[in-house]
Structure 1
Amino acid sequence: MEHTIHCDLREKLKEKFIFSNGVTNTDKLNLIDAIQRLGIGYQFENEIKDVIQYLDLISCRDYVDSDLHTCSLRFRLLREHGYKISEDIFKKFINHKGEFNTTIASDIKGMLSLYEATHFRLRGEDLLEKALIFTTSQFEAMLHNDLITKSCFVEQVKHALNQSIHKGLIRIEARNYISLYENDEMHDKLLLKFAKLDFNIMQKLHQRELGELTRWWKDLDLTNKFPFARDILVECYLWSIGIYFEPQYAYGRTIITMIKVLANGYMDEATWLHKSYIPTLEEYMNVAKITSAVEVMSIAFLLGMHSNLATKEGFEWMLSDPLIIQATSVIVRLVDDVTGFKFEQQREHVASAVECYMNQHDALEELATINLRKQITDAWKDINFECIRPTKVPMNILSRVMNMARYMDMMYKEEDGYTNSKTKAKDYITSILVSEVDV
């Protein structure tokens, strides 16, 4: 019954929104944004693709009179789908001193959209850098002085500053956005009901998969055979959902969760630990690119994809050390090191990137952290660049690689959520694998 209602609602939504006449381009932008943030973009891939392609063909001149929200949302959605669009569209919000007009600060909706757009910036896009600094500082001041009057905007601003749309995982962010969208008095009831049903249906599928994996894990009895091995099956499965949650990737999620790979690079790390050797940052990162296991995991998830994606060319590309793999490896390694530095030093552990930088440059921890965070920021810019058309492999593959970086941003932002599963990881697990959404 639930599946029947779900299918009926999907067809009604396609007819009501995607193919209906009289819908403005701004309405289409807002609709696509809502669909994607509700976590149901995969249900309307072709429809979204057609609309985005159409919106890309429209001249920027047609948006010259658009407000901040529309300009920013169009920029973000086009960049998200790999289309080239210049940061120059934001010049109309700049004053004669080259700074953003403070008058736009009162437009909270527009400011939020601009803030989210800045996370798609590339190297050298100074205007977007300026926009990020402007929106962040304005929001922090507003929150500190209680200047945002609408409670719904307060929640959105706080969440955005902690987790941008671009760096968030679909399932985690969808669960949060469903609540925000429901509280929006302008929400579409049909769309909301469909999103809730879809979330619960996918949750039931994931629960069945996790149940099967749990039986497999217990049969192996590795926890008793190797007491030092951490029982982190659920966390590993959460990682697999982060890479791809859609129903057609059940096999891929199983492969990723089950995979037990010890990268050759760990031998070098073990040698450094044994000799109490602190390598240079360059030495460390060369090995860390291996031990981050991004390339191995990328090959694993490609195995779980459809044959039109898991091609010989696709695997050769994976093994060619493309920029997006390099950048994701940097993020996976450095986010972990920067966040978990103090914790790791409490136990016998190979020197982290923070310690390597401090030792090599005779620098304090604060300076080392600042420089490493800049490397993380630049790595995200490289990921964004790799996703601009024309791409060497389909966007569906690139987005899965990017999801590994997103997982790290989500899980390690404030603490080591993977090692210490008693932290926010448990909340994430509960929200997407345990607690059903009320329909």
Structure 2
Amino acid sequence: MRRSSILWPRSGGLSSRRREASTESHTTGEAEVEERDVFATFKDEEGRFTWHDPRDILGLYNAAHLRMHGETVLDEAISFARRCLESMIPYLKLEGSLAHEVIRTLAIPIPRRVRIYDYKYYISIYEKDNMVDKMLLALAKLNFNLMQIYYQQELKLLTRWWKDLQVQANFSFTRDTIVENYFWMAGAYFEPIYSRGRIILTMVMATIVILDDIYDVYGTPQECELFTKCMECWDQNAAQDLPYNLKFIFGKVLDNFENIEDGLEVQEKYCSSYLRKVLMEVVRAYITEVKWRDARYVPATVDEHLHVSARTGAGQLLSCASFVGMGEIATMQSFDWVSNMPKMVHALCVLLRLSNDLAQPYEQEKIPLDVPSTIDTCIVEHNISLELAREKIKGLIEESWKDINEEWLKPDKAQPKELLERIFNLTRTMEFMYKQGDVFTHSHAIKETINSLFVESFSEI
């Protein structure tokens, strides 16, 4: 049995071969030949997809989700495999591991899953295997328990930091989501070596939530305009004309970023200027959306909408902040790259915005004093029904995933793989948070996963 199956099931094998075909082939011709060899086993003599073993079709479905633009054979493979998997569910033992894996895969395929969220699930699957290596199993459980100690210590530190800010205690409009923030950011890098990175990323995420609540819920258009000017000045003295509440929060934002900079080594402090630069772009996008809302303006095209709204999800800021915790591997050139919205980061931002909009009940989007969603714009742009607009948005999400896959799999990567993996992992977390509804806002839906990751350890090893 392959030892990697502790974290990923056997059906992930084809995904691995798909990755190898993309990364080890150095010419287009070689890649095409490799891919034909991999997928030939799923076709009959007439070139039609066929299958015999449920695990094989599961592997096909997972592997095909590493598709890139122009790979129509993989588009066909996904449609075929999904139909097969959906049709076999009634005939599988509902309590069996295969049935569970089919259902989980149809919800989110393996290449798009957040590994640490699934860690304990796959340990439980491996534990039931007839060929289980008991030593390997014990090490996997011990490894999780040790990682959990790191998470608990970091959560204790961050919870204390959040309470000391006194933002939520003084202003009830802000969301008290420090645990959810940390849970989300742990998906970007879960390894113990990245403890500092998780803390920094969570602090940035918590700041984003505060700012989002100001622009979306609390501030008047005039107050938001003034707050934006203060942010651009980045000076507490510029906040004299702000109402007390906003002045207080503005000071906390400055303090947060100052604390992050204080925690950096001397040779790393230049990173903070990049964080501020990208944060300013987010804030300017926020105020544009406020103006849309105030004027009841609906952008004419989805592209026009995304030109602004792709930034308000703060995916670029999180990408930039994730580099801060990576140490020497993240160079000044890396920060130049991430702060100029490269293709992979843009795909993450688009995917985040579209997934978030798709996860919201449409009735909520129709509130008069709300920012129009990309769904609203899609309906206007194409003069189509809500159902068709949602399907178009889903199609755009899949196109963004193809962009992510291309940047991740191509051999001549723009940045070290370790850095691109942060962006890829952040994209995976977006899939988790919004594929089954907005579970970040409605966090009761992920309560069990949070408890499993941060509270419940393996008692028997």
TM-score bracket for the superposition, by shorter chain length: 0.7 to 0.9
How far 1:174 sits from its partner (Å)? Answer: 1.1
How far 1:148 sits from its partner (Å)? Answer: 6.1
How far 1:254 sits from its partner (Å)? Answer: 1.1
CA contact (8 A) 1:341 1:352 kept: no
Q: Structure 1 176/124 Cα, relative in aligned 2: closer, same or farther at 3 Å?
A: same
Residue 160 of structure 2: aligned partner: 215
Q: Structure 1 229/343 Cα, relative in aligned 2: closer, same or farther at 3 Å?
A: farther
- Verify: 1:111 aligned to 2:57, yes or no: yes
Out of 167, 174, 191, the residue aligned to residue 229 of structure 1 is 174
Residue 421 of structure 1: aligned partner: 443
Residue 172 of structure 1: aligned partner: 117
Matched residues in 1 for 2:455 and 2:366: separation?
Answer: 33
Out of 320, 323, 340, the residue aligned to residue 360 of structure 2 is 340
Residue 193 of structure 1: aligned partner: 138
Q: Structure 1 107/279 Cα, relative in aligned 2: closer, same or farther at 3 Å?
A: same
CA contact (8 A) 2:358 2:390 kept: yes
**Map 1:40-439 → 2, pairs under 5 A:** 72-78=14-20, 82-84=23-25, 85=31, 86-89=34-37, 90-101=39-50, 104=51, 106-144=52-90, 146=91, 151-259=96-204, 260-261=207-208, 262=211, 263=282, 264-280=284-300, 281-307=302-328, 309-342=329-362, 344-345=364-365, 347=367, 348-387=369-408, 388-423=410-445, 425-438=446-459, 439=461
CA contact (8 A) 2:12 2:62 kept: no
Matched residues in 2 for 1:299 and 1:69: separation?
Answer: 34
Matched residues in 1 for 2:127 and 2:347: separation?
Answer: 36
CA contact (8 A) 1:142 1:148 kept: no
Which letter maps to 1:335?
A: S
CA deviations 1:123-157 (Å, max 9, x no partner) are 1112222221222111111113x156992211221
CA contact (8 A) 1:354 1:369 kept: yes
Matched residues in 2 for 1:232 and 1:150: separation?
Answer: 34
TM-score under structure 1 normalisation?
A: 0.80
Q: Name the SS of the counterpart of 1:93 in structure 2.
A: coil
**Map 1:31-42 → 2, pairs under 5 A:** 31=3, 33-37=4-8
Q: Structure 1 341/268 Cα, relative in aligned 2: closer, same or farther at 3 Å?
A: farther
Which letter maps to 2:292?
A: W
Q: Which moved more, 1:393-402 or 1:152-161?
A: 152-161
How far 1:269 sits from its partner (Å)? Answer: 0.7
How far 1:35 sits from its partner (Å)? Answer: 5.0
CA deviations 1:321-356 (Å, max 9, x no partner) are 211111111111101101114263265420111111
How far 1:100 sits from its partner (Å)? Answer: 1.1
How far 1:288 sits from its partner (Å)? Answer: 1.3
How far 1:76 sits from its partner (Å)? Answer: 3.6
Matched residues in 1 for 2:305 and 2:151: separation?
Answer: 37
Matched residues in 2 for 1:169 and 1:390: separation?
Answer: 25
Which letter maps to 2:422?
A: R
CA deviations 1:101-130 (Å, max 9, x no partner) are 3xx2x3122222222111111111122222
Q: Structure 1 292/155 Cα, relative in aligned 2: closer, same or farther at 3 Å?
A: same
Matched residues in 1 for 2:407 and 2:15: separation?
Answer: 21
Q: Which moved more, 1:192-201 or 1:316-325?
A: 316-325
How far 1:375 sits from its partner (Å)? Answer: 0.7
CA contact (8 A) 2:7 2:123 kept: no
CA contact (8 A) 2:357 2:374 kept: yes
CA contact (8 A) 2:198 2:325 kept: yes
CA contact (8 A) 1:79 1:120 kept: no
Matched residues in 2 for 1:149 and 1:279: separation?
Answer: 46
Matched residues in 1 for 2:15 and 2:289: separation?
Answer: 44
Matched residues in 2 for 1:355 and 1:234: separation?
Answer: 32
Aligned residue pairs, count: 374
Structure 2, unpaired ranges of 5+:
26-30, 212-281
Runs of 4+ in structure 1 over 6 Å off: 68-71
Which letter maps to 2:44?
A: N
Residue 63 of structure 1: aligned partner: none
Q: Structure 1 36/314 Cα, relative in aligned 2: closer, same or farther at 3 Å?
A: farther
CA contact (8 A) 2:7 2:122 kept: no
